[in-house]
């Protein structure tokens, strides 16, 4: 008999596996990201929620102590001044669970990637 996958198969499933207070934050990040990339497709990539437009343009995830936002290194460089208050790495931003999510920053990061990283579909 086949074992159920430990990796969620959908973004809804990923969010549902989190604690209720984390679900609310993830749901809000998802809405903000989707509203700024309505043509993007959702999937689970690398085990976490991902928006894609030919290329991955944004990931987000929940961890024990933070929400991770993953706009990628190009966006990280472009927004480096705005990210000084957050713990970051090459392509990731960590928002501690006890801090508000910077939704306007999420929106700008996603729009930046739509304009600069996404691949236009072939006609």
Q: Considering the domain boundaries, does residue 123 fall inside one? A: no
16-61 pLDDT, tens per residue? Answer: 999 999 999 999 999 999 999 999 999 999 999 999 999 999 999 9
pLDDT of residue 118: 75
How many helices (DSSP H) and strands (DSSP E) are in the chain? 4, 6
Q: Considering the domain boundaries, does residue 122 fall inside one? A: no
Q: Which helix (H) or strand (E) holds 105?
A: helix 103-116
In terms of Cβ atoms closer than 10 Å to its own Cβ (0-12, 13-18, 19+), residue 17 is exposed
Domain that holds residue 42: 11-115
The CATH number that applies at residue 20 is 3.90.1150.200
> What's the pTM?
0.90
Domain count, the chain: 1
98-118 pLDDT, tens per residue? Answer: 999 999 999 999 999 999 987
Q: Considering the domain boundaries, does residue 3 fall inside one? A: no
Q: Considering the domain boundaries, does residue 61 fall inside one? A: yes
């Amino acid at each position: 008999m086949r074992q159920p996958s430990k990796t969620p198969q959908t973004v809804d499933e990923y969010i549902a596996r989190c604690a209720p207070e984390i679900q609310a934050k993830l749901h809000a990040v998802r809405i903000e990201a989707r509203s700024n990339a309505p043509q993007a497709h959702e999937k689970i990539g690398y085990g976490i929620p991902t928006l894609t437009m030919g290329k991955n343009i944004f990931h987000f995830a929940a961890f024990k102590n933070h929400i991770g936002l993953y706009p990628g290194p190009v966006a990280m460089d472009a927004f480096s001044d705005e990210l000084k208050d957050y713990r970051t790495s090459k392509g990731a931003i960590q928002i501690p669970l006890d801090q508000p999510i910077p939704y306007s920053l999420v929106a700008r990061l996603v729009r930046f990637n739509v304009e600069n990283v996404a691949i236009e579909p072939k006609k």
